[in-house]
Amino acid sequence: MDAMKNKFWFIQTYGCQMNESDSERYAGQLEALGYHKTEDMELADVILLNTCCVRETAEGKILGKIGELKHLKERNPALLIAVTGCMAQEWQDRLFDRAPHVDLVIGTHNIHQLITLIEERQKASDHYLAADMDIPAFHDLPAKRFQKFFAWVPIMNGCNKFCTYCIVPYVRGREVSRPVADIVKEIRQIAAEGYKEITLLGQNVNSYGMDLKDGTDFSYLLQAVDAIDGIERVRYMTSHPKDMTFAMIDAIAASKKVVNHMHLPIQCGSDELLKKMNRGYTTDHYLELAAYARKRIPDLVLTTDIIVGFPGETEAMFQDTLHLLKRVQYDMAYTFIYSPRTGTPAAKMPDQIPQEEKSHRLQRLMDVQNVFSLEHNQSMEHQVYDVIVEGPTKNDENNWFGRTTGNKMIIWENDGTAAVGDTVPVAVDKGQTWVLKGHLVH
Ligand code: 5AD
Ligand code: SF4
């Protein structure tokens, strides 16, 4: 009898950490149904693509992947293919027209419906769509965490900011904060299971609690989380310069566990363009926040996001962005070419920038930023940092890596003395643009 034959799930995640976290809650449900994890898509009984649509490049890649799955379905008609996440929310049943081999399309508020939908699908050969955003975004779902020492903790879902280029508010809905008690309960559990590092996740963590209307805010949450025993490091992302306050910076500085890494996206260095982006702050305000954070948080590692080629961006405005990079001297900048998203105001704005010009500006921007990234990393040479060991690098089994509290990646030659999850001192020998090389200190 092979009625007990093992069944396998395969999940591929695209996009941000919020999607990583959601994937863990999909995996938790699949495990509850008796499926096991496989790394080999060809062996899977359920393939779930948890998608992103923040830029066209992501969407194109995912559509390609969905296309590739067709031959697997032809070979094994019992295979169940689910497309979930932001692109599922955006495309809804149009995805079935485009790819009839997809069985389930599940939106961003419908994660908890996976099990029911799989059961429905197995009873009838029909497509199923669940993409209702008028229901709560958070559901009490067990996560099957993908990592052993690092855990994602969503603290809110959605975004109310409506930056004019961004599709997130349309596919994730309005901001909803999770109650402090629920967050603390989950982190206590995580700590009891031996996790050392958590990352508090939200599209805009600084507006945490505003919808709860009970006086709770991000500073209060940080204090509550900081007091939980067993956790070593608390990360948070993403911050928004409009809602980040000096008091929050004080709360971070006063905490024992909140790390010295702040990701504070500025998007561009021109006040005129920031207005058109509906960002709600000026470069002067941003610079004040950055200066205060540097003053209050020792060895702050400051990173940012920049978009080039937003509609109407002139050469002078782009120069303002280069100038800003030179003033702030970030440790790292994630740089993006503006990608028009249907339904967002910026997609209809005049003076769209030609692709070639956008690519050229991106290159010039990276050339400026790379100098600072290298300088920051070189300034860490010959110093010793505490690192939580993550394990071997992708390319070389003998090279292991881990991260500092500032989220800098350090690679060293494994001598067998450090185990995954250990916190160990590592001396930096060489700072490079993207990574540091070092050795374990014994
Ligand atoms: N085009 C390019 N970049 C975008 N981002 C968001 N929307 C777009 C878009 N339409 C970038 C922003 C944001 C990061 C997560 O993605 O910089 O901070
Ligand atoms: Fe998008 Fe702006 Fe919200 Fe960030 S703050 S998710 S960029 S709308």
pLDDT-based confidence at 139, cuts 50/70/90? confident
Residues 160 and 267 in one domain: yes
Same domain, 200 and 327: yes
Q: Are residues 191 and 324 in the same domain?
A: yes
Q: Please tell me whether residue 147 adopts helix, strand or coil conformation.
A: coil
Cis before 238? omega within 30: yes
Q: Which of 329, 351, 376 corresponds to the end of one domain?
A: 376
User: Residue 413's CB: how many other CB atoms inside 10 A?
Assistant: 12
The verdict on 366 and 401 lying in the same domain is no
Nearest to 206 by CA among 240, 156, 255: 240
Region 433-439: what's the mean pLDDT? 97
Q: Indicate the number of domains in the chain.
A: 3
Read off the tokens for 133: 């955003």
For the segment 77-96, the average pLDDT, to the nearest whole number, is 96
Residue 420 belongs to domain spanning: 384-440
Tokens standing for residue 74: 């032809």
Identify the residues whose C-beta falls under 6 Å from ligand 2: 159, 161-163, 166, 168-169, 203-204, 240
Q: How far is CA 260 from CA 257, 296, 404, in A?
A: 9, 10, 9
137 located within any domain: no
Amino acid at the residue 160: N
Residue 53 among known ligand-binding residues: no
226 in the same domain as 181: yes
| Per-residue tokens: 407 | 């989220």
Asked whether residue 346 falls in the same domain as residue 398, the answer is: no
Residue 86 and residue 53: Cα distance in Å, rounded?
6
Estimate the crossing angle of helix 17-32 against helix 114-123, to 10 degrees: 50
Neighbour tally for 240: CB within 10 Å? 20
Which pLDDT belongs to residue 1? 41
54 CA: nearest ligand 1 atom = 7
Same domain, 335 and 216: yes
We report the CATH number of the domain holding residue 260 as 3.80.30.20
Q: How far apart are CA 338 and CA 52, in angstroms?
A: 16
- Same domain for 339 and 247: yes
Asked if 182 and 284 sit in the same domain, the reply is yes
Strands 156-157 and 150-154: unpaired
Instruction: Tell me what the mean pLDDT of segment 124-144 comes to.
Output: 88
CATH of the domain at 115: 3.40.50.12160
Say if residue 3's pLDDT is above 70. Answer: no
Verdict on whether the full-model pTM lies above 0.85: yes
Nearest Cα to Cα of residue 321 among 292, 283, 347, 289? 283
154 with 224, same domain: the answer is yes
pLDDT in tens, 380-423: 999 999 999 999 999 999 999 999 999 999 999 999 999 999 99
* For the CA of 169, the nearest ligand: 2
163 and 97 share a domain? no
**52 labeled part of a ligand binding site:** yes
Mean pLDDT for 195-215 is 96
268 is in an annotated binding site: no
Position 21 scores a pLDDT of 97
Domain membership of residue 303 (yes or no) is yes
Would the CB of 55 count as within 6 Å of ligand 1? yes
* CATH code, 429: 2.40.50.140
Categorize the per-residue pLDDT at 144 as very low, low, confident or very high, splitting at 50, 70 and 90.
very high
Tokens of 309: 């080629």
pLDDT band at 2 (very low <50, low <70, confident <90, very high): very low
What is the mean predicted confidence (pLDDT) over 163-189?
Answer: 96
In a domain, 136, yes or no: no
Residues 228 and 368 in one domain: yes
CB 18 within 8 A of CB 50: no
Return the residue matching tokens 């990393």: 377
Inform me whether the pLDDT recorded for 125 exceeds 80.
Answer: no
In a domain, 143, yes or no: no
